[in-house]
Chains A and B, each alone.
Chain A
Amino acid sequence: MTEDELRMAVSRSQKEGFRLLFRQYYPYVYHIVWNRIRTVGTKEDAEECVSDIFAELFSQFDKVESGALQGFLGTLARRRAVNLFHRLAGHDPALPLDEEIVGQMASEEQIEEDLEAAHLQKTLLRHIRDLGEPDAQILLLRHFYGCNSAEIARTLRMHPVTVRVRMSRALRKLKERLTADPDFTENGVIP
């Protein structure tokens, strides 16, 4: 649905309109929030934060100019996610995230490890992409977003049992491919 269609839906029925808006923009907002807090928070933390963001959007919906809905939502999500990250990590909110990241990457050994990890992640993602849809999505939803079978099934519009079966098969296939990849075997990632 376009933004104008969503606004019309809200004008007809506020709750149903907001429900459509929520469904449409939830992945976008969740992605922003999760990418910010995934290292320190849980899936439940992200869901709570997302629900707060949408509640605030609902209350300020009339003030949002036409065509600026997604931008407003993205800005709001980032601010809320940063605040949640600081709260969960116990950091000083006044300290910029970039400085923290720089602090974490201060040592040369750490840099080498990160480069090596980045290379492995890139290779891993290539093998995952080679699995094709929906196996790649199932694996990422499970291991990156932390979703369970039911949530994956709802996202991919599949039956939960099917999700579990395909996940099992996808893991087996991925293990075979990683075992054949020297990057992983030489580094001892895959025995």
Chain B
Amino acid sequence: MKIAHTLDSLRYTQNEAALQEIGSLCPAPQPDDRLFERSWQKYQNTPHPGRLRLYRGMGIAACLLLTVGLLTGVYAKQQRIETRPPQEPAPAMQETTEETQPGAETAAETAEETAAPMTTATEAALIPVQTQPETVMQTTEAQTQAVISQETQPPVTEAPAVQPIMTAPAEPVTEAQTKPEPATEAQTEPATQSMPEQADIQLTGFAVMQYPDHKQVICTDDFPEPDGALEEYHVAGHSVALLAVTDADAGRTYDVEAGEKTFTVTQREYAEFILDVEDESELIDLGLNRSHGFFLLQGETCTLYWFRSGEGFCMQGNTADLISMLEIARSFTPAQDAAEPTEMR
């Protein structure tokens, strides 16, 4: 036992020479496969370096994304701050602004609602609509074409035969009639912004207003309250012959022959007459006995309007037919005044 104890003391020696002696005398013990398998299992359970690189790369990418996101957010915030007005309004001013904003918002909303379908013509025409929104006759250039095309086709059956209130079929006017107040609010400011001026053109019985991009012809007659009863007219002239008279919803139409050509004249009651025309259009004053009118020349198209006793007449043809159209207009005389001749002023 004693010698075994002496030998065990070798294990605890700190003597380098003794350790070197032991190392030279005896090899370290050889392993068995059990120890290798333990190392192998530990190696298998160790995260693979490639996997570690993948995780590290994903972590770096996530950090970069987070950093970029934060920087972008900060930059956007900074941009918003920079775009703000430099001076904040005083608290009292803020309150005032808040108090007045609802009305402004309403006006803005109303303007958005009404501005989309509005044309320049209807914008200007909405001013008289305020007073008598239901009795306004709105006729834009396009509407004029449509109305004329309808008028040139005598059997019109869409509108009632007697219509006290003449309304244009175009949608913008309809919208203005259905929403008169918002339209008024919305259009008051634009109307003042583009205040029309009196045009150089003088038309008897009409006011011609000049807008930036168009002209507007307004009849200055005092139209009587429409009663749905159109006055009867006779057509009598040297080279004019009445072919047919048709009562339709849109008014009364006269098929008149002049110079081997047939024209259609439409007679209507008007509550108010406003017509928008292009700047390039030509207006020619036309003086008739107890009536007044004008030619509207647009390219090769010639339209003649004349008014008498609150009723209006419209006729369309070519510029070459101007004399014939004038002759037809002169030949229209009220039945009660049939005996009196019409003559040029």
Contacts and interface: CB of A to CB of B under 8 A. Distances in A.
B87 interface: no
B233 to A, nearest CB: 111
B42 interface: yes
A105 to B, nearest CB: 8
A144 B29 contact: no
A39 B25 CA distance: 20
Interface stretch (B4-12, B72-80, B126-134, B172-180): B4-12
A189 interface: yes
B43 A136 contact: no
B193 interface: no
Given A38-B11, A144-B22, A118 B31 contact: no
Contacts of A58: 39-40, 43
B9 A22 contact: no
Interface in B151-171: none
Contacts of A18: 36, 39-40, 43
B13 interface: yes
B14 A30 contact: no
Contacts of A28: 28
Interface string A7-33: 000000001001100110011101100
B32 A114 contact: no
B206 to A, nearest CB: 100
A171 interface: yes
B261 interface: no
21 contacts: A18-B40, A27-B29, A28-B28, A31-B23, A52-B39, A52-B42, A54-B36, A55-B39, A58-B43, A121-B13, A121-B15, A124-B10, A129-B21, A136-B25, A137-B25, A140-B26, A145-B26, A147-B29, A155-B29, A178-B3, A189-B6
Given A35-B19, A121-B10, A145-B29, 18 more contacts: A18-B40, A19-B40, A23-B30, A26-B28, A31-B28, A51-B38, A55-B39, A59-B46, A121-B9, A137-B25, A139-B7, A141-B26, A141-B29, A143-B10, A143-B11, A144-B11, A144-B26, A184-B6
